[in-house]
Structure formats: C-alpha cells, structure tokens
Amino acid sequence: MDIKNFKSGEELYNEKLKRVHDCIELKVPDRVPIIPVMQGFIPFYGGITLEEALNDYDKAEGAFDKFYEDFEPDLAWDPVLMYPVNAFKTWDLKWMRWPGHKGLGPNTMYQFLENENMTEDEYDELIFDPTSFIASKWIPRSFGNLGGFQHLEKLRDSLWLGFFNSFFPFSTKEMQQTFDSLIKGAEQMSAWYDFLARYSDKLKQKGFPVAWGAFAFAPFDMLGDTLRGTTEILFDLKDRPEKVLAAVDKLTPIAIESAIRGAAGTGRKFVWIWLHKGIDEFMSDADYKTFYWPSLKKLINGLIDAGLTPMLYGEGKLNSRLEIMRDVPKGKVVYHFEYVDMQRAKEVLGDVACISGNVPNSILHFGTVDEVKDYCKYLIDNCAKDGGFMMDTGGLLDDAKPENVKAMFDFTREYGRYL
Amino acid sequence: MTILNEISEELQMGNAKNVKELVQQAIDEGIPAKDILEQGLLNGMGVIGGKFRNNEVFVPEVLVAARAMNMGMQILKPLLADADVKAKGKVVLGTVKGDLHDIGKNLVKMMMEGKGLEVIDIGIDAAPEKFIEVAKAEGCKVIACSALLTTTLGVMQEVVEASKVAGIRDEVSIMVGGAPVTQAFCDKIGADIYTEDAASAAEKAAACYKV
C-alpha cells in the first residue's frame, strides 16, 4: 500500500506519473504500475446503479471518491466513461442504449448498436467531401432530433452569391427544432463537462494523474464502427476493397486532427485508441496489412509527432498482429491487450513498446482471489522483467467481485516491486 | 470435376452468382436436391468452417461463402420441401436479455446452417422464457445463448433454470458462448456446451443430433 498519508497530493501525483512514464519509455520503474480502465465497476462498488451513475452526478462523485480512496490506481479515470446520456436522449441518439433507456435495466451496461449509417453506394460521397457527409448524412441518421442537418450539404454551395440557396434551410421549422434540440443537449453536455473538469482537478489534488487526454479511433474502425457496421465493412473488403482503402485514406488525417484537438482541449497527453475491427478473426494478416495497419500507423506517428502518447487499447484477440505492431517508434506507445498470449507479446514487442492488460474480466467476475493472484503473478513473471508492463484488466471492467479487484491491486503492489 | 464439387468450390470462393447458376444447372441435370445440398453447398461450408477454425480463412471469407450458400438455397429450398428433406436438427439461437450484440451470434448461425441445421434466430435481448418457449414449440434439442457483457452473463443461468422449470432440461443441450464466457463459467451455471469459436459451436450442435 502506498503510504499516502505521508505524501502530499503533488508528490503522489508526480510519483505515479513518473512510474507510468518510466514504464512507457521502457525504463525500470519503482514498481509495476496499475492502470485498469474501470467502467461499471466504480458505480457497482460504490453501491449505486449504473443508471444512477449516469444521471446523478452527486451520486456518481460519491462512488468515484470511494473507489479512488480504496484502490489508488496509478492512472485514474474521471467519470468520462459515464457518458452524458441526458444529452444523448435530448438528441435521440440512435446507436446507443444505456441503463434505464429503451428497455435496458438499471444495471445493464450501455451498449453501442451498429447501424448502417452509410450505405454501400455512398462511398464516393464520403470520399468526395467527408465533412459534408458526416454533417448532412451521418448526424441526422445518428440523432433522431437533429434531422435538420440533412440540409447542411448545401453549405458547400455558399461561395459568392450561393448563400441565397444555402442559407434557406435555416428558415424551416425542422431546422429550428433541430437547433432547439442541439442547444438543449449542448447545455446538458456542458454541465457534464463541468463535472468532468471539476472531478479531474479533484483527482489531481488527491495525487492521481488522469488517465486520458483524448480518445481516437483507427481510421478503419471509424469507417467500420460508425459508418458501415462490422458485417458490412467485412463484406466490403471482398466486394469493394478499393473504396474501403480510399475512404480509410480520407479519414486518416481527420482521425489525427481530432485526437490532437481533443488532447489540446484537456491539456493531457495520453490518447486512447480503442481498437476494434482488426482482431484475429475479422481479417487475414494480408488484409490487416493492407486495410488496417497503414492508416493506424499514420495515426500513431501523427500523435507521437504532436508530442502525445498513443495508448492502444486492443479489444479481442490480436495474437497474429503482434509482429506487425512492432513497427512503431521505441518507447512511445502502450499496447493494451485483452486476449493475447502475453508471454509472446512480451517477446515480440518488449523491446519497442510497453504492454498492459490481459487480467481476464471473467476471473475478476467469477473467479477466486487465488486465481486472480496466480494470473497477476504469471503476468509479472513473464512480462514485467526490467519494466515495460502495466497491470490492467483485459477489458473495461463492469461487475466483478471487489475482493478480486482488491487482490489484483494488492498483489501487484507487493509482488510487482522492483526496488 | 463433378458439378457438385464445382458448387462446393465456388461456394468456398464466395462466388454467389456462380453457385446459383450451378445449382440451377444441377437441378436441370436431374441431380436430387438432397445431394446438391449435402455434397455441394454443405460440403463447401464444411470446408470453410474447418478453415475458419484453423485460422486459414477469416470472417470476410465466411460471410461471402454463407452468402453464396443462401443464393443456392433460394433455388433449392422448394425442391427440398417437395422431396421432404428435413434439416438435420433445429437450434434456437439468441443473444440473452439485456445484451444487444449480435455479430458473434450471427456468425454462429451461419456456421450452424452450414452444418445443415435449421436455426431459429430469436435475435438480441431475448428473455429466458423465449428460448424455452421456442425450443418447446419447435422441438429444438439445442438452445444456444450468446452474451458479450459480464452484466448479462447471469441471464444464461436463468435460461438453464427456466429449462428445469419447464421440465425440458433433460431433453435439451444448452450451449453458451461469447467473449467473457469460459468453460469454467459453463460448468458453474450447469450449461452443457461451451466452445471458443463459431465453427466448433456448429460442430457440437450438429453432434447433438447424431444418434
């Protein structure tokens, strides 16, 4: 246990951040950092429902306080993963369900639905003008109450006297209703941002570095997750591969710009890239090298060039991709893995990147304390020699036995010490 | 190469149009629908399933093969009905209540159909009673439950319990699958079958129908 009572918040903050930075830079830290990404676990541990955590910021704050008081991780998540669902509701977000919304129970975790928000014959339109496509097609398809956006495509016609046409839609009732909804939701969103900012400050004062500076997505995932859908994009690899490549190419600078802008907004440097569609089962290595990795590599390098640290969060199996993932600058990125052979991951990637993750959520959920300790021991023995490994759960953690989570922390603090 | 081999090969390559044409040609040549199904379409899907399990092909290849099979089946289905050729067995398949993920479930469905099973897909967010009700009404020997979230895993146990209450526990095999599911979890909740991948799930389900 860290002797927090004898250290100031600032000292603790610097100590934790140094531990994480040392690990990322492949230097030997004082001990293995513990950086789990907690999702529903914090409300569950704090004795409130997920629905309450998403809707009542005072209750959420109490739960978060309790978690940080009891567990003291090395990187801390403010409540950013407790999304602003009241704004989503105002806008009628179509591709997400959350606790207490449209039939989901108060303790069922929020979920993303994959809608085909771009049809197979709209690739050219996206490639021609992605901003216009996102504004005039993706937004109204994603948000039931923002239908007016569909008229924004005309804004492209505004040059010179074109504005006679392009501004006309703003006079319509539909557009005005859209703006009413947009403003109301944006105000709700703003209250949520205030909560995050306040809580981030609180974390810092208590000595916790905030884990995230921005979120980013692999360009292939931007296309697959939000525009086409998994099944559709995997069909596209066979049916229209050249369109997929062109679209991914077009989305790459957008991904880089968006992440850099996000990090500038928070003033924090860890950019979490949630990896989805490049898993082992979803495509061959040849396809991964063609469709997925080149644009992801550009994103990684773009962020590093901007002085940011990409934290690549691999969800699913990535065993066959490890060799390809070696191709990054040394000591600049973190690779988190959910299901991979971690011993092999260390062998393949250990000299170029810090790795993390892999404590199975299933063991934390229904295993025993001894099973958790055994698993953490396996990870430290095989991945943490001379640094380069951070302890983390396999996936974002929802419900798990508190004693199991405690065991992961306590065991790592003891057994993961280098000095 | 016989036409049935050709159907199998074209299916494996995902050439839906060719499969459709070849199935029609085979019918015109008087080959029994059952043979076209088993030695052509299902043979091809069997090869794809094996390769998928061995990491030789991946989801895109499975998707286009399944699409080709469906194109063939569109023509073949009425003839199979006329000849009274029945599916090898019936499976009720769904993602459990509270869980809205269907990619894994849909893949399992394709693989099971590729094994000649009839799959009654009750979709996502399916209540335990729905699994039981459909299994009873349709005479399914296999109940297959999918979940991706730890917050919905518990519903799988409810399906097992519901089958006991309904008095059909001994008549059905309950399969569980999805990212957080393990063999230990399967044993713990008293389900019967867990597999790591969709192709193995289809094989185990088909095995439930072997005498």
Query: What are the boundaries of each domain within chain B?
Result: 3-82, 90-207
Q: How far is CA B58 from the centre of its chain?
A: 17
Instruction: Please state, in angstroms and rounded to a whole number, the distance separating the CA atoms of residues A42 and A38.
Output: 7
Q: Say if residues A408 and A368 touch (Cβ distance below 8 Å).
A: no
Does A156 score more than 70 pLDDT? yes
Q: How far is CA B207 from the centre of its chain?
A: 12
B210 falls in which pLDDT band (50, 70, 90)? confident
Percent of chain A with pLDDT over 70: 99
Nearest C-alpha in B relative to A96: B100
pLDDT mean over A6-31: 96
In b/e form, how buried is each residue of B167-187, taking b as 16+ CB within 10 angstroms? Answer: ebbeebbbbbbbbbbbeebbe
B60/A287 Cβ within 8 A? yes
Interface residue A96 vs chain B (CB under 8 A):
no
**Mean pLDDT for chain A?**
96
Q: Write the CA distances from B54 to A221, A292, B47, B197, integer angstroms.
A: 25, 22, 11, 10
In b/e form, how buried is each residue of A204-236, taking b as 16+ CB within 10 angstroms? Answer: bebbbbbbbbbbbbbbbbbbbbbbbbbbbbbbb
Q: Say if residues A277 and A220 touch (Cβ distance below 8 Å).
A: yes
pLDDT mean over A354-375: 96
Of B58, B150, B180, the CB nearest to A281: B58
B3 CB contacts (<8 Å, ≥6 apart)?
B22, B25, B26, B29, B31, B40
Percent of chain A with pLDDT over 90: 93
Q: Say if residues A75 and A60 touch (Cβ distance below 8 Å).
A: no
Give one DSSP letter per residue of B185-204, joined into a string: HHHHHT-SEE-SSHHHHHHH
Instruction: Give the global pTM.
Output: 0.94
Q: Say if residues A395 and A315 touch (Cβ distance below 8 Å).
A: yes
A302 CB contacts (<8 Å, ≥6 apart)?
A256, A259, A260
Residue found under tokens 């009404």: B137
CATH for B3-82, among 1.10.15.40, 2.60.120.260, 3.40.50.300, 1.10.1240.10? 1.10.1240.10
Give one DSSP letter per residue of B110-151, joined into a string: HHHHTTT-EEEE--SSB-HHHHHHHHHHHT-SEEEEE---TT
**Mean pLDDT for chain B?**
96
- The three-class DSSP label of residue A311 is strand
For A61-79, write each residue's pLDDT tens digit. 999 999 999 999 999 999 9
Interface residue A176 vs chain B (CB under 8 A):
no
Does A2 score more than 60 pLDDT? no
Of A109, A360, A395, the CB nearest to B151: A109
Tokens representing A323 are 């060799």
Q: Quick one: which of B147, B121, B136, B42 has its CA closest to B87?
A: B42
Q: Say if residues B193 and B175 touch (Cβ distance below 8 Å).
A: yes
Q: Write the CA distances from A318 to A51, A146, A325, B97, B162, integer angstroms.
A: 33, 38, 10, 29, 37
B152/A362 Cβ within 8 A? no
Q: Say if residues B142 and B172 touch (Cβ distance below 8 Å).
A: yes
How many CB pairs below 8 A link A and B? 79
Pair type for strands B142-146 and A389-390: unpaired
B103/A238 Cβ within 8 A? no
Nearest C-alpha in B relative to A101: B98
Q: How far apart are the CA of A41 and the nearest CA of chain B, in angstroms?
A: 10
Q: Write the CA distances from A403 to A71, A168, A373, A393, integer angstroms.
A: 11, 61, 11, 14
pLDDT number for residue A392: 98
Does A235 score more than 80 pLDDT? yes
A105/B98 Cβ within 8 A? yes
Q: Say if residues B141 and B111 touch (Cβ distance below 8 Å).
A: no
Residue numbers in B near A320 (CB within 8 A):
55
B211 falls in which pLDDT band (50, 70, 90)? low
A315 falls in which pLDDT band (50, 70, 90)? very high
Does A46 score more than 70 pLDDT? yes
pLDDT number for residue A67: 98
Residue numbers in A near B60 (CB within 8 A):
234-235, 237-238, 282-283, 287
Supply the CATH classification number for the domain B90-207.
3.40.50.280
Residue numbers in B near A103 (CB within 8 A):
125
